């Protein structure tokens, strides 16, 4: 699936969690210009259960720090924080929410588009980074498997560690699979499996 460009905001769904009518009207006007789908939510209420939205605009001053519902806003939807109060106690709460970008109040029409683009971009990067980290972690987890496979080849073929690893790597390349997958097969088969076909 193609990743959506962070610059294209038309049609994306935004949830406004704001209190101040004046700010709401400024934001609503600008979001309409950008062609976004707008829904609103009262900051005094707990978050809606199904946040079927792409981005949340949240007035950071409107939600009490010491309330159970503050934590409920944490999730996968990128949050743009609207900041009025810059006290460290408020900012610490905000950091816990991991805002994808922010705007400083008083709001005006300029700046909102940048905040949206940065939010979409950083949310996408977060997803990409998470996937990358998961891959690396998988690889770390399978190091034990690779090590066992190398040992098995060393014993079975009376090879040095370097040669055993080179054989596994070459075989994996020939079969177009990863070292980790082939290693698991070596352990399962008790030796180098006879593979005549390509492994997807």
Partner 1 sequence: MMAGEMRKSALMAVDEINHSDEFDFTFTPHLRDPGGVVAGYHTACADLIRDEHVGHIVGCYTSASRKQVIPIVERTERLLWHPARYEGFESSDNVIYVGAAPNQHVVPLVRHMLDRISTDVFCIGSNYIWTWEMNRVIREIVTSAGGRILAERLLELGETAVDHIVKEVIDRKPPVVFNTLVGESSYAFMRALHVAATRAGLSVPMLSCSLCEPELKLIGSAASVGCVTSSAYFESIEGAENRSFVARWKARHGADSSLSVDGQSTYVCVMLLARAIRRAGSADVGAVRRAAANHRYDSPQGPVWVDPDNNHCFLTPRLALSAPGCQFKIFWEADAPERPDPYLSNLDLTTIGTRPEKSNDTMTKRSTHLRIVK
Q: Which residues bind partner 1 (CB under 8 A)?
A: 20-22, 61, 64-67, 84-90, 92, 105-106
Q: List Cβ<8 Å contacts ≥24 apart for 114-120.
A: 115/80, 116/9, 116/14, 116/34, 116/36, 116/55, 116/80, 117/6, 117/7, 117/9, 118/6, 119/55, 119/78, 119/79, 119/80, 120/4, 120/6, 120/9, 120/12, 120/54, 120/55, 120/78
Closest to 20 measured CA to CA, from 28, 9, 12: 28
**Least Å distance between CB 92 and partner 1?**
8
Which residue, 89 or 114, is less far from partner 1 as judged by CB? Answer: 89
Which residue, 84 or 191, is less far from partner 1 as judged by CB? Answer: 84
**Least Å distance between CB 64 and partner 1?**
6
Among left, alpha and beta (phi > 0; psi -120 to 50; other), residue 64 is: beta
Q: At what angle do helices 21-33 and 112-141 cross, to 10 degrees?
A: 80
Which residue, 107 or 172, is less far from partner 1 as judged by CB? Answer: 107
**Least Å distance between CB 137 and partner 1?**
35
**Least Å distance between CB 34 and partner 1?**
23
**Least Å distance between CB 118 and partner 1?**
23
Which residue, 44 or 189, is less far from partner 1 as judged by CB? Answer: 44
Which residue, 92 or 139, is less far from partner 1 as judged by CB? Answer: 92
């Amino acid at each position: 699936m193609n990743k959506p460009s962070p610059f294209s905001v038309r049609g994306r769904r935004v949830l406004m969690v704001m209190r101040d009518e004046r700010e709401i009207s400024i934001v609503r006007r600008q979001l309409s210009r950008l062609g976004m789908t707008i829904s609103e939510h009262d900051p005094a209420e707990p978050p809606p259960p199904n946040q079927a939205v792409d981005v949340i605009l949240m007035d950071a001053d409107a939600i009490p720090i010491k309330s159970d519902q503050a934590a409920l806003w944490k999730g996968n939807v990128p949050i743009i924080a609207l900041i009025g109060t810059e006290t460290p106690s408020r900012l610490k709460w905000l950091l816990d929410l991991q805002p994808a970008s922010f705007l400083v109040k008083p709001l005006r029409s300029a700046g909102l588009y940048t905040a949206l683009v940065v939010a979409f971009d950083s949310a996408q990067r977060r997803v990409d980074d998470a996937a990358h980290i998961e891959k690396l972690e998988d690889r770390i987890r399978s190091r034990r498997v690779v090590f066992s496979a190398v040992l098995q080849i060393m014993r079975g073929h009376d090879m040095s560690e370097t040669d055993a690893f080179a054989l596994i790597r070459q075989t994996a390349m020939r079969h177009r699979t990863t070292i980790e997958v082939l290693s698991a097969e070596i352990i399962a088969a008790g030796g180098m499996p006879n593979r005549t076909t390509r492994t997807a």
